[in-house]
Structure 1
Amino acid sequence: MVLEKVVEILRNYKDEQDLEVTIDSTFEELELDSLDTVELVMEIEESFDTSIEMDGEIQTIGDVVNLIEKAIA
């Protein structure tokens, strides 16, 4: 459920409904620069009513999903 919601938010953010996104997709592969990433994380935080601590370890969509799942558990 978390992955599907994150993918939906990402597709809406990029305005590409057919964007290929997997749990292993990196921000770089999705052509997201640092500003895009910050804005996207803010949208994800708002959607899940949680806070995500971004650091250099977060490289993939799976990393974000894992943080959200831990935060809402």
Structure 2
Amino acid sequence: KLSISEDQVTEDASFIDDLGADSLDTVELVMALEDEFDLDIPDEEAEKLTTVGKAIDYVLEQLAKKKEEKN
């Protein structure tokens, strides 16, 4: 867990530069996203999730794809 206040978390906030995450934190974040949303995030995609907004957009995109595949 990161020791940050809620107001520091914005869509533009960089996990590493703004929120103080290290490489282990980012791996744990990706694993948490995978668990929470039942996703498989490939390493090459995980490396692109550098900001809160990029992570949100990626998860929403993947959930939409999963929903499409079910229909």
Give the TM-score normalised by the residue count of structure 1.
Answer: 0.68
Shift in Å, 1:45: 1.1
Unaligned runs of at least 5 residues, structure 1: 1-12
Aligned residues: 59
Distance of 1:25 and 1:42 partners within structure 2: 19
Q: Aligned runs of 1:15-26 on 2, under 5 Å?
A: 16=4, 18-19=5-6, 20-26=8-14
Q: CA RMSD in A?
A: 1.6
Q: Deviations over 1:2-36 (max 9, x none)?
A: xxxxxxxxxxx3265x3320111101210001111
Name the structure 2 match of 1:68. 59
Computing the radius of gyration from Cα coordinates, the structure with the larger value is: 2
Instruction: State the percentage of identical aligned residues.
Output: 37
More RCO (CA 8 Å, sep 6+): 1
Q: Which runs of 4+ in 1 moved over 3 A?
A: none
Give TM-score scaled by structure 2 length. Answer: 0.70
- Give the whole-Å Cα distance in 2 for the aligned partners of 1:27 and 1:51: 20
Structure 2's unaligned 5+ residue stretches are: 65-71
